[in-house]
Homo-oligomer: A and B are copies of this chain.
């Protein structure tokens, strides 16, 4: 998954992009980059969190009034430096940079055709394909140029381009990933989520529509469209609402915090456990549904586990000795709160099941009487090919075990999931969502043998 930002015409374009990425950090913690333009093109990109990847010293070089930024959690391509975005080339003296959130589904076909014609690829990202298509295509008129190129793409994409002094934003016809438009004084800003606009104090204008292409030069904006889906046929990613987006964002026409509380209330209606002494969340992702659940049933909400805010990258690949302590290091149960109690534990979702099992084990050690787990979405059974980095089907626990088996695996006294209908019932426009991860119904065709490392074998590793 990734976060993207674009600033059209502001003295502090790169700094605003930096702040925007900061707000979008949850969308990608692996690497970050910003490109800016002031007649010359400037770029800084590095592995790490936004604040590490873009240190103040290197930020100084990012001059110019136009800037785009990207933070990344690897979806296609491995984690080497070249695969960090924005991806930038210069062709006939004109720089073209691009930041991409989503995942194309026809990459392989396009790639093979371009190589046959003598194109040399620098990276293993589907994003690079788009740039080669741009360079190969007649490019007099901006609208025609981008319509021509983007109509060759299939899959999920929210894109922000910097083409010389011009900013271009686009969203695939299905509208898989969010992308919104804001205004800061007179300056247009594009961002994955509205929380980025909040942080930089920009006004939320509207979401970019599915299939829309927006071209911004200075303070002027024009818009055109690819052939679009009719309302009721879009495919917004429902998992953005369940887990991925920030609770203070508004996406797909709704507030994420409110959606999650409604999911929690609906969960309480479907699977109440009224005999509980307290309701607690797995922090922080379960917090919002837990509030809804507790309020619906008028049960006391407590903080049953303390999250350690100092967890850094260091602990991601520790030695075996350290790994044994990993769960506790991250989340420590409070004995005096939990001991001897019947508790409801609310979590947003279960993917592999191992994390949940470890956390329940840590809770068990401080002696609760009963643990009843409630999940604010249906069982996840199928991988995502549109940009979310779920593991393969074999690793998704709900793809292989019944709810009863999962309950036993993670060792809880009861386990209940929200129903698909219940989940969709609290959404606005419930027909406009992709729920393939729960149902396996993919709204855009998936090529056989698709892997996120599709292009790896073909590409130089440095």
Instruction: Mark the stretch among A166-174, A193-201, A434-442 that contacts chain B.
Output: A193-201
**A70 interface contact, C-beta 8 A:** no
Report yes or no: B334 in contact with A90, Cβ–Cβ below 8 A. no
CA distance A306 to B309 in the complex (A): 14
The 8 Å CB contact of A329, one of B22, B306, B314, is B22
What are the residues of chain B within 8 A of A284 when measuring CB–CB?
Answer: 309
Instruction: Mark the stretch among A117-125, A144-152, A393-401, A408-416 that contacts chain B.
Output: A117-125
**A95 interface contact, C-beta 8 A:** yes
Within 8 A of B (CB), among A269-302: 284, 287-288, 291, 295, 300-302
Count of identical protomers in the assembly: 4
If A118-B117, A303-B257, A309-B309 touch, does A459 touch B90 (CB 8 Å cutoff)? yes
Q: How far is the CB of A294 from chain B (nearest CB, A)?
A: 9
If A198-B328, A312-B49 touch, does A460 touch B120 (CB 8 Å cutoff)? no
CA distance A300 to B291 in the complex (A): 9
Report yes or no: B247 in contact with A306, Cβ–Cβ below 8 A. yes
**A38 interface contact, C-beta 8 A:** no
**A223 interface contact, C-beta 8 A:** no
**A154 interface contact, C-beta 8 A:** no
**A370 interface contact, C-beta 8 A:** no
Within 8 A of B (CB), among A70-101: 88-93, 95
What are the residues of chain B within 8 A of A22 when measuring CB–CB?
Answer: 308, 310, 329
If A308-B22, A309-B309, A336-B257 touch, does A90 touch B301 (CB 8 Å cutoff)? no
Within 8 A of B (CB), among A27-58: 29, 40-44, 49-52, 55-56
**A132 interface contact, C-beta 8 A:** yes
Report yes or no: B120 in contact with A131, Cβ–Cβ below 8 A. yes
Interface 1/0 per residue, A297-336 and B, CB below 8 Å: 0001111001011101011001101100100110011111
Report yes or no: A335 in contact with B248, Cβ–Cβ below 8 A. yes
**A246 interface contact, C-beta 8 A:** yes
If A131-B120, A198-B332, A199-B329 touch, does A115 touch B89 (CB 8 Å cutoff)? no
Within 8 A of B (CB), among A410-428: none
CA distance A325 to B197 in the complex (A): 12
Count of A interface residues, CB-CB < 8 Å: 84
Q: How far is the CB of A245 from chain B (nearest CB, A)?
A: 11
Q: How far is the CB of A5 from chain B (nearest CB, A)?
A: 14
CA distance A224 to B51 in the complex (A): 50
What are the residues of chain B within 8 A of A19 when measuring CB–CB?
Answer: 322, 325, 329
**A448 interface contact, C-beta 8 A:** no
Report yes or no: B460 in contact with A90, Cβ–Cβ below 8 A. yes
Report yes or no: B258 in contact with A318, Cβ–Cβ below 8 A. no
Q: How far is the CB of A313 from chain B (nearest CB, A)?
A: 8
Q: How far is the CB of A213 from chain B (nearest CB, A)?
A: 22
If A51-B314, A91-B115, A291-B303 touch, does A332 touch B199 (CB 8 Å cutoff)? yes
Report yes or no: A257 in contact with B334, Cβ–Cβ below 8 A. yes
What are the residues of chain B within 8 A of A240 when measuring CB–CB?
Answer: none
Report yes or no: B312 in contact with A51, Cβ–Cβ below 8 A. yes
Residues of A within 8 A of B (CB): 12, 15, 19, 22-23, 25-26, 29, 40-44, 49-52, 55-56, 88-93, 95, 115, 117-122, 131-132, 135-136, 195, 198-201, 246-248, 250, 255, 257-258, 284, 287-288, 291, 295, 300-303, 306, 308-310, 312, 314-315, 318-319, 321-322, 325, 328-329, 332-337, 457-462
Sample 6 A-B pairs with CB under 8 A, ordered by A number: A23-B308, A26-B310, A43-B462, A90-B458, A117-B118, A287-B303
Q: A40-B461, A248-B306, A248-B332 are in contact. List 14 more A-B contacts (CB 8 A).
A: A51-B312, A90-B458, A93-B458, A118-B118, A118-B119, A119-B119, A195-B306, A198-B335, A246-B332, A248-B333, A255-B334, A284-B309, A287-B303, A288-B303
